[in-house]
Amino acid sequence: MTNPKTARFLKSILRWVDSDAGLGDASPETGRRVEWLRILPFIILHGMCLGVIWVGWSWAAVLTAAGLYFIRMFAITGFYHRYFSHRSYKTGRYRQFVFALLGNSAVQRGPLWWASHHRHHHRFADTDEDPHSPTRQGFWWSHIGWLTSAKHFPTRSAYVKDWMRYKELVWLNRFDTLVPMLLAAGLYAFGAGLEAAAPQLGTNGPQMLIWGFFISSTLLFHATVTINSLDHMLGTRRYDTPDTSRNNLALALITLGEGWHNNHHHYAISTRQGFFWWEIDITYYLLKAMSWLGIVWDLRPVPEHVRTPARSRPQPRTQPQ
């Protein structure tokens, strides 16, 4: 018989590559206990940023990091959030899998895990059931602490039954570290190739790996989760929603439009989160361009009676679809 501590250790290791390993072990009692072994890869992701001390920098590496930040932020906001979480537009099955792959490359777990927790957040925003409410659990818990708890490791399958029928999405969600590992390996190879073919660029495999994967992914993560934390603390409120969501231009810029969070909580199913022309929403602009190309379609608009503040009303806490 395997020792319980040994079994728990092995399951924690296995979950690094198979998020379904030991599914169902988590319980409410483990809600605020940090699972250090389980989150070790996440800690390493941050720690490896210090590698810049040894690998230095080059314009090739910095521009690669910036480009991957932009592409993967769009994948999180445009695909993980506005498509998988809220179904605010339509696309085909092949394209939705490509969208899921791109979102997965951002190192923010699988598409079903992301969507399920986000839908749960909308249903219970800023209540005790909200996984990451700064008004209930404090800034650090809402920003990063909730991700370290075993309570929030599993996918909340009841919220994503609409996506569970796609076997390829379920598979990708289960093995959610595969795409990030392939990206990291590809970046190392890319840097090594540039070192051999264009040495004047001053880059190499380790440098491209540190900048393109570790630094870019870490910045991307913290920018994304400011919407959980800061965007429920700092900014303005146009709509009287039953939560503390706010609109924040600075956060909208670094997240390509997600900072219009009070707008979003007022009417979550709209493709557009910057409701007015002066509210910069880069994700929406890109999705609109994709609709002109026929890649996506049926983008959900913001009805005028919803958009106009004088006519706004608090929305009920329902699961967004």
DSSP string, 61-118: HHHHHHHHHHHHHHIIIIIIIIIIIT--SB--HHHHHHHHHHHHTTSS--HHHHHHHH
CA distances from 138 to 42, 59, 236, 245 (A): 21, 38, 19, 15
- The Cβ of residue 208 has, within 10 Å, a number of other Cβ atoms equal to 27
The whole-number pLDDT of residue 112 equals 97
The whole-number pLDDT of residue 311 equals 44
Q: What digits encode the pLDDT tens for the residues 163-179? A: 999 999 999 999 999 99
Residues with Cβ within 8 Å of 261's Cβ and at least 6 positions away in sequence, in order, are: 227, 231, 232, 235, 245, 246, 247, 248, 251, 273
CA atoms of 270 and 302, how far apart (whole Å): 6
Mean per-residue pLDDT over the chain, rounded? 91
Q: What digits encode the pLDDT tens for the residues 288-304? A: 999 999 999 999 999 99
Band of residue 9 on the pLDDT scale cut at 50, 70, 90: confident
Percentage of the chain modeled with pLDDT above 90: 78
Q: What digits encode the pLDDT tens for the residues 20-42? A: 776 655 444 456 777 888 889 99
Q: What digits encode the pLDDT tens for the residues 230-256? A: 999 999 999 999 999 999 999 999 999
Q: What digits encode the pLDDT tens for the residues 46-88? A: 999 999 999 999 999 999 999 999 999 999 999 999 999 999 9
The whole-number pLDDT of residue 14 equals 78
| Spans of all domains in the chain | 33-311
Band of residue 92 on the pLDDT scale cut at 50, 70, 90: very high
3-state percent breakdown (helix, strand, coil) of the chain, nearest 5: 60, 0, 40
* DSSP-based three-state secondary structure for 297: strand
The whole-number pLDDT of residue 312 equals 45
Mean pLDDT for the stretch of residues 180-200: 97
Q: What digits encode the pLDDT tens for the residues 118-158? A: 999 999 999 989 999 998 889 998 999 898 888 888 999 99
The whole-number pLDDT of residue 310 equals 55
